[in-house]
Chain A
Amino acid sequence: MTAVLPDKHGFFGTFGGQFVPETLMAALDEFERAYKQLKRDRAFRDELHDILGEFVGRPTPLTEARRFASLANGAFRLFLKREDLNHTGAHKINNAIGQALIAKRMGKQRVIAETGAGQHGVATATACALLGLQCVVYMGEVDMARQELNVFRMRLLGAEVVPVTSGSRTLKDAINEAIRDWVTNVRTTHYIIGSVLGPHPYPMIVRDFQSVIGREALAQLKKKTGALPDVAIACVGGGSNAIGLFYEMLPHPSIRMIGVEAGGRGAQLGEHAARFSGGALGVLHGTRSMVLQDEFGQIAETHSISAGLDYPSIGPEHAYLQEIGRVEYHDCSDDLALEAFHKLSESEGIIPALESSHALGWLLRNGQTIARDAVVVVNLSGRGDKDVPQVAAL
């Protein structure tokens, strides 16, 4: 299964594809060809491996969290995959470095990106600084206010941060604006999408660059426990950290996998970002997936305490994995995520990102259902430093 998807048209079952203005079709094709060629290119692979090792700091540690596991009423063993210890503080850098390297090889000197929480923007700005590329980041005005520190970081790294004032002024609108820039400057510019979203080949390429997370975790768990994990949990906005953790585990049917969406403040449309319980099949930003929308196909606004999960659609491969029943998807409310944010900080000395806190929140509430001595791995996708001012202001 893992080898054949997406199909040659970019579909995971009925999800995915390329639904973009004609102007971009040639660029998507160019990107896919470049990636397929570079994937087999020894020098490219060595360069990526070097940067991930010497600059990003991979492999990231796997930390056992005994005190948090007991707070979750569990008799299981809990391991945290420490993506928060990556340079720049989240898993986003894995993909940003990979795509920036491809951009450079394609001769594109200008890179654009969208960002929600700011982590992908910071990662892209960092990759561009490292590789000498020009960087422009689109960010919704609302997100700029709640993630002010990351705006400052991006500017320090030499990127131009463009405020997006249309629509809900969050991640969705930042992607709209980035696509408009790309349509205009497509000949000179590469668009680094930060999640497993957008038209083919993005969901595939971002997944491949993030799959290092699960690959390392499996090897580390084998060393520590001698076996495969029983449960893998990750939060899901677009879904790049989750697919990164899950992808290498998909061939092992004994591993239960759980994606946790943002339950926000309630079940009403506009109050959450739970695409599976509240969404319908739709097309947004170039891909067919589950989309939060009204009865006429207008995209709904979303709410989450975490900017990184505040998005009305979900990566098409997640929609597929949900449909075939391979991965379960649940949601975690703002309040529960916040509770987990505090509990992990106090019990383990690790301040998690509000995004990752959703995965921990689900575990906090459902830990008692997990079998005794089971091995659970949670992707701690980012660190919470960026969220401290927001939480302090609550």
Chain B
Amino acid sequence: MKRVETLFRRLKRERRCGLIAYVTCGDGDTGRIVDALARAGADAIELGIPFSDPIADGPVIQAASQRALQHGTTTHDVFAIARAIRALHADLPLIAFSYLNPILRYGARRFAHDACEAGIDAVLLTDLPPEAAAELRKELREEGLGAVFLLAPTSTDARIRAIDRASDGFVYYVSTTGVTGARRELDPSLLGRLDEVRAKLRHPIAVGFGISRHEHYELLREHCDAIVVGSAIVRAIGEGDADGAAERAANVVRGILDTAILDTASIAPVP
């Protein structure tokens, strides 16, 4: 958990909006892809544990999860990927991102233990609201792992407070009512809503779902502590040959941060 807290302290000190990159583990050479993402400027990584029935995900991440499962990716493989990344990047925060059932099936205590041992810092489960999370949180905390919960545009004030209290390190704000997936335009009410929500939080706030363009980053950077980019990266990984996947993923990050894009032609246009 320390690595997550250190990151957000550093972002605050540097007055910078961070970028968290999502990848689906087992969809391509995840270790190599994450290394490239970190070198391209990603401040933290969400490691997606593929699940057969990802109800919060749009078509791009659904397809990536299917591919990863077809390759036989298991929770053990996710931990192996995390260990490999940790060996290269001692300070890079790693957040496991999934659904509750694979974690329940693995066993909450065993999961917390093995995740910690693999160098994972926190866990975010899209279908686990904080009121149902007491048992898992206890197991995670005993191993020094954090639990991150999601806020949505429909969250009431009471829920905003409860989710802030329950979260470790930061809270994840879902930018719009909907599933994951790159969108051309941000929800028009997002910036106003973010300022309102942020003022109520003790924790830093990261914003995800739909964020895929440099313009989004420019609009959001003053209104949150970090953005999360998922589907745009996952799509770039899936489009083209396996050898180029890491470079294509890294170029998405560079494009959003707008730091020296090396090969603009390889970035798929956002529909």
Contacts and interface: CB of A to CB of B under 8 A. Distances in A.
Q: Please classify the interface of chain B as helix (H, G, I), strand (E, B), loop, or mixed, using the class held by over half of its residues.
A: loop
Given A176-B53, A299-B101, A19 B129 contact: yes
Nearest to A282: B101
Contacts of A180: 55-56, 58, 179
A286 to B, nearest CB: 7
Given A23-B174, A180-B56, A283-B100, 8 more contacts: A18-B131, A19-B100, A19-B127, A22-B154, A23-B152, A282-B104, A283-B101, A283-B127
A281 B154 contact: no
Given A22-B155, A25-B154, A280 B53 contact: no
Given A282-B104, A296-B102, A299-B52, A21 B159 contact: no
A183 B179 contact: yes
B101 A186 contact: no
14 contacts: A19-B100, A22-B149, A22-B151, A22-B163, A23-B174, A25-B129, A25-B154, A26-B154, A184-B179, A283-B100, A284-B101, A285-B55, A293-B105, A298-B102
Contacts of A283: 99-101, 104, 127
A296 B154 contact: no
Interface string B115-143: 00000000000111101100000000000
Contact of B129 (A18, A173, A185, A280): A18
B266 interface: no
Interface string A293-327: 10111110000000000000000000000000000
Majority SS at the chain A contact face: mixed
Given A20-B127, A296-B105, A25 B177 contact: no
Contacts of B62: 166
Most buried by B among A18, A21, A172, A282: A21
Given A19-B132, A184-B179, A296-B102, A25 B53 contact: no
B52 A298 contact: yes
A291 B156 contact: no
Interface of B: 51-56, 58, 62, 66, 69, 74-75, 99-106, 126-129, 131-132, 149-156, 159, 163, 174, 177-179
**In the A-B complex, the 3 residue pairs with the closest CB atoms:** A297-B105, A297-B102, A23-B152
A258 B127 CA distance: 32
A23 B177 contact: yes
A187 interface: yes
